[in-house]
C-alpha cells in the first residue's frame, strides 16, 4: 500500500503550539500599533490633500 505524503502544517499552528508551549499574543499592543499606523496614513492623506489643493 503506497504511503501518503505528510500534510503541510497549518498556517495557524506555530512551533510553540506544536510543542505544547503557548505563546500569548499581546493583542492590546497589536491594536495600538495598528492605530499608530492608521494615524500616520491619515496625516499623509491630509498633507497630500493640502498639497493638491494648492495646485
Domain boundaries, the chain: 26-54
Q: Could you tell me the pLDDT band of residue 35, with boundaries at 50, 70 and 90?
A: very high
Residue 23, pLDDT above cutoff 90: no
The reported pLDDT for the residue numbered 18 is: 61
Report CA torsion sign: 25, 26, 28, 34.
Answer: negative
Statement: residue 52 has pLDDT above 60:
yes
DSSP state of 10: P
pLDDT at 16 over 60: no
Give the pLDDT confidence score for residue 41 in this predicted structure: 98
Are the CB atoms for 9 and 18 separated by under 8 Å? yes
In the 8-state DSSP scheme, what is residue 53?
H
Query: All 3 cell numbers of residue 34?
Result: 495598528
Distance between first and last Cα of the chain:
74
Give the model's pLDDT for residue 6: 67
Largest CA distance in the chain: 74
Mean predicted confidence (pLDDT) in 42-46 = 97
Amino acid at each position: 500500500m503506497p504511503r501518503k505524503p505528510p500534510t503541510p502544517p497549518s498556517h495557524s499552528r506555530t512551533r510553540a503550539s506544536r510543542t505544547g508551549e503557548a505563546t500569548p499574543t499581546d493583542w492590546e499592543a497589536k491594536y495600538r500599533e495598528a492605530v499608530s499606523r492608521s494615524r500616520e496614513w491619515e496625516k499623509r492623506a491630509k498633507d497630500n490633500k493640502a498639497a493638491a489643493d494648492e495646485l
